[in-house]
Structure 1
Amino acid sequence: MDSAEPASPTATSHLYTQTNETDNSIIHYGRMADGTLTEMDRVATGGKGTNGFKPATGEESAPDTLLSAYAVTMSRDHRWLFNVNAGDQSVSAFKVGADGHLSLTDTEATGEKAPPSSVAFDDKTQTLYVMHTLGPNHIRSFKLQDGNLVANEKSYTLNYDKFDNRVATSIVVSPDGRFLLADVLFNAPPAAGPDGPKLTPSNAGNPDGLVVFPITSDGSLGDPVLNDAGAPTPFSLAFLRGSNTQFVNTFAAGNGAVLSTLAADGTVSNGPLATVDLSLAPNGPSESCWVSISPDNSHAFVTNFGLGNLTSFSISGDTLTSANGSLGLVEGDGKFMAFAGIPTSGPNDSWASEDGFLYQLYPNASTLIAYRIEGKDLAEVGRYPIPYNSPSGLAGF
């Protein structure tokens, strides 16, 4: 009788998030064929995280510490991984091995005082774009050369006219590498008021929430195009798989998402706003902030930070419709409440795989959950511990 122990499961692909702790590191998970995860290792970024401190609001420890999406991203060929280090205003680059393991190749200061919060990479020009929550120099860029990040001198702002201190949340390069898209949450930083923070939502009265830059042949950015994002407070967007033009954009105070279309001149048209179920917190807002697209483009899964859950939307033509408004509800430790006024686990970044699984961070519950996508529904397949409150960013292949 063979008494040998059974062989360990073999990872079929890989997933990465950053701890965003004071000594920041990337957690590398192996993804198994059934969607479950095995933590492989943790690799230091060479930079500092915020360790739960939220610079935009001054909260000592809160989930969504970077107020952003895409704090971790990969090149489209999956050879490189990048992340922001918001604690010391730097960005890191990693070479991704054939086995998914990471090798740190460079960590460089962004040159700005504001915390970097989102990154996007253009494979065509080998340019890394780094967005900062505040300006005036919201966007800096680096050339990737033999694993080194070489800073470009030029910077780019998301401010305009009287709005000279806008708050940005995420950047994305269009799949064809023609445009860089930036979502702007507020036209001014939150200010203290007698009844709570005073907010100045973008895209409220002005069609200015989505800024589109053409990308030139050398990776520099052309003149920005201000666009109507479709609703106030756009937060993050995701292109449909295989499309260079259609994407889903989310709205923190707009309580939902829209399906939008990018034209060849950088202008954007929007379908109607599809809203989430607010029965958990009728006064809202839902803070619908992160989005992932199913492998067949039939559904978008939107993360509701203020409600502690997710909503699935059906994608049809140029519109979204709510499909399931009560997915993935996870309780936090009861110590954190967002603008909806109820305790929330503060779910933030998510990532959907090509083989049909969705991975969701719940930082206030110190949990990463793996789900199998079943049409408009999600079926949990595993839970994994993560650091409390601080983690941000998910990317994989």
Structure 2
Amino acid sequence: MKLRLAAAATMSVFLAACGGSDNSKPTTTVAQLFAQTNDTNNAVVHFTRNQDGTLVAKGSVLTGGKGTNGVNYFMGNITAPDALTSNNSVIVSPDKSRLFVANAGDNSVTTFAIGATGDLTVQAVSPTGGVRPTSLAFSNGVLYVTHQQGAQELGAYRVGQDGKLTQIAQYVVANQDALPTQVAISPDGKFVVVNGFLKSVSPVTPLNMLLAYPINSDGSLGTPVSSASAGVGPFGGRFASGPLSSVFAVTEAAGGTASSYSFSSAGAFSVLGGPVTVTGQQAPCWISLTPDNHFAYAGNGSGAVSLFALDGTGKLSLVNAVAATETPVAGQTSAFANDSWISPDGKFLYQDYAGDDKIVAYSIGSNGSLAKLGEQPANTQSKISLQGLAGI
């Protein structure tokens, strides 16, 4: 069954089209990029980043866990791009010493140690006690994981020196089986932010809310603060940097829009600007921000990367709805621009195209424009199961 992206954007298209410190010293000295295949025998695809932004393949490393092999729970367990329906399924710890990967096929998380040359070593494969873990966030030795199903879809886990996860607690999100799409840590390290909720999967009914859970001293979470979203179907979000670190830019997949919010010290979100329509595109789900807060890039289920500008207050304006796009593989209606990552120097954007089974490297121009530098195949078994993107 193919994605129905040629039709007008509907509620069901919105999600279907759409992933601290552990007190260890940083060890990695070489620039790296990581994604996951989400194959049945899940693996990390690993690249070295050259100074000119191009990628060199280092091969793949098995996670020891299981992926879904492209089977998409939200789509009724068919094989379709964005099988994990999430942001942040692959993350690097802030000190760059560890890589965490969600294995949605067997409800586990793999902890890798990252060596000085970027080589990966499996430390542990830990069960989460939840169903279909898909999004990860890490702070102060605690990993926070959201799951696609269950009565308690958010979990907190202490990460040991051996990489094993020990559960601290599990928490209710909006309602049972709400399918959260992203978990993140606020820049001040005081809140866990979760978004992307449904009242029901069928019919698809977004709850249009953002939740912020205060983090207790032991890593456990307090009662969440709930804020209404500006647009329909908030999916992915990124906090800005430095003086704009309280700004949270969000894609709103069901409404085909993006908005920005101000995050208060009490955990509440208030609208700064939006919703801004992503003209001509459907299912904007993923978003990355440049470190200088000048630009945001939204990945769309309809296959394009859209460019936004941020002003000095954090408000978004659409600059180019199709800043980049690729041709889908045979049998797919969209190249499916999903997870992305921007280099810390702000010079390069790396983009997953799940519908084309590859990662593309772009240079970022002074006006935010994207120039393609090259591409690397993911070589997933299903040719559409590529997920997650994180780098150093």
TM-score, shorter chain, exceeding 0.5: yes
Aligned to 1:226: 226
Matched, 1:328 2:319: no
Matched, 1:379 2:381: no
2:343 to 353, 358, 370: 353
1 CA distance for matches of 2:206 and 2:170?
Answer: 24
Q: For 1:130-161, what per-residue CA distance to the aligned partner results, in whole angstroms no more than 9, with x for missing partners?
A: 110123111112111113323225210113xx
Matched, 1:30 2:48: yes
Q: Any gaps of 5 or more consecutive residues in structure 1?
A: 1-10, 192-197, 204-208, 337-342
Deviation of the 1:164 alpha carbon: 3.8
Aligned to 1:195: none
Aligned to 1:86: 104
Aligned to 1:139: 154
1 CA distance for matches of 2:351 and 2:238?
Answer: 15
Conservation of the 8 A alpha-carbon contact between 1:327 and 1:378: yes
Conservation of the 8 A alpha-carbon contact between 2:137 and 2:143: yes
Counterpart AA for 1:23: N
Aligned to 2:190: 178
Deviation of the 1:293 alpha carbon: 0.8
Relative distance call for 1:90 and 1:46 in structure 2 (3 A) is same
Q: TM-score, normalised by structure 1?
A: 0.87
2 CA distance for matches of 1:179 and 1:153?
Answer: 16
Deviation of the 1:277 alpha carbon: 4.3
1 CA distance for matches of 2:177 and 2:143?
Answer: 23
Q: Which has the larger radius of gyration?
A: 1
Deviation of the 1:109 alpha carbon: 0.8
Relative distance call for 1:67 and 1:58 in structure 2 (3 A) is same
Aligned to 2:303: 308
Spell out the pairing of 1:8-19 with structure 2 (5 A cutoff): 12-19=30-37
Relative distance call for 1:373 and 1:274 in structure 2 (3 A) is farther
Q: Any gaps of 5 or more consecutive residues in structure 2?
A: 1-28
Conservation of the 8 A alpha-carbon contact between 2:238 and 2:287: yes
1 CA distance for matches of 2:86 and 2:239?
Answer: 17
Query: What root-mean-square deviation, in Å, do the aligned CA atoms of Structure 1 and Structure 2 show?
Result: 1.5
Aligned to 2:76: 58
Conservation of the 8 A alpha-carbon contact between 1:12 and 1:33: no
Q: Percent identity?
A: 34
Conservation of the 8 A alpha-carbon contact between 1:334 and 1:344: no
Aligned to 2:211: 211
2 CA distance for matches of 1:349 and 1:318?
Answer: 22
Deviation of the 1:335 alpha carbon: 2.6
Deviation of the 1:74 alpha carbon: 1.2
Aligned to 2:138: 121
Q: For 1:72-116, what per-residue CA distance to the aligned partner results, in whole angstroms no more than 9, with x for missing partners?
A: 01111111110100010101111111111111100011112x211
2 CA distance for matches of 1:185 and 1:378?
Answer: 32
2 CA distance for matches of 1:296 and 1:321?
Answer: 16
Aligned to 2:389: 394
Deviation of the 1:184 alpha carbon: 2.2
Deviation of the 1:61 alpha carbon: 1.7
2:95 to 77, 80, 84: 77
Deviation of the 1:327 alpha carbon: 1.5
1 CA distance for matches of 2:155 and 2:165?
Answer: 11
Secondary structure, aligned partner of 1:238: strand
2 CA distance for matches of 1:41 and 1:213?
Answer: 38
Counterpart AA for 2:374: G
Deviation of the 1:241 alpha carbon: 2.2
Secondary structure, aligned partner of 2:152: coil
Deviation of the 1:363 alpha carbon: 1.4
2 CA distance for matches of 1:165 and 1:150?
Answer: 23
Counterpart AA for 1:121: F
Q: How many residues align?
A: 357
| Higher RCO structure, 1 or 2 (CA under 8 Å, sep 6+) | 2
Relative distance call for 1:308 and 1:150 in structure 2 (3 A) is closer
Relative distance call for 1:381 and 1:146 in structure 2 (3 A) is same
Counterpart AA for 1:302: A
Conservation of the 8 A alpha-carbon contact between 2:152 and 2:176: no
2 CA distance for matches of 1:265 and 1:233?
Answer: 23
Aligned to 2:117: 99
1 CA distance for matches of 2:104 and 2:36?
Answer: 11
Counterpart AA for 1:172: A
2:356 to 341, 351, 365: 365
Instruction: Say which is worse superposed, 234-243 or 31-40, in terms of deviation.
Output: 234-243
Secondary structure, aligned partner of 1:364: helix
Instruction: Say which is worse superposed, 135-144 or 63-72, in terms of deviation.
Output: 135-144
Aligned to 1:246: 247
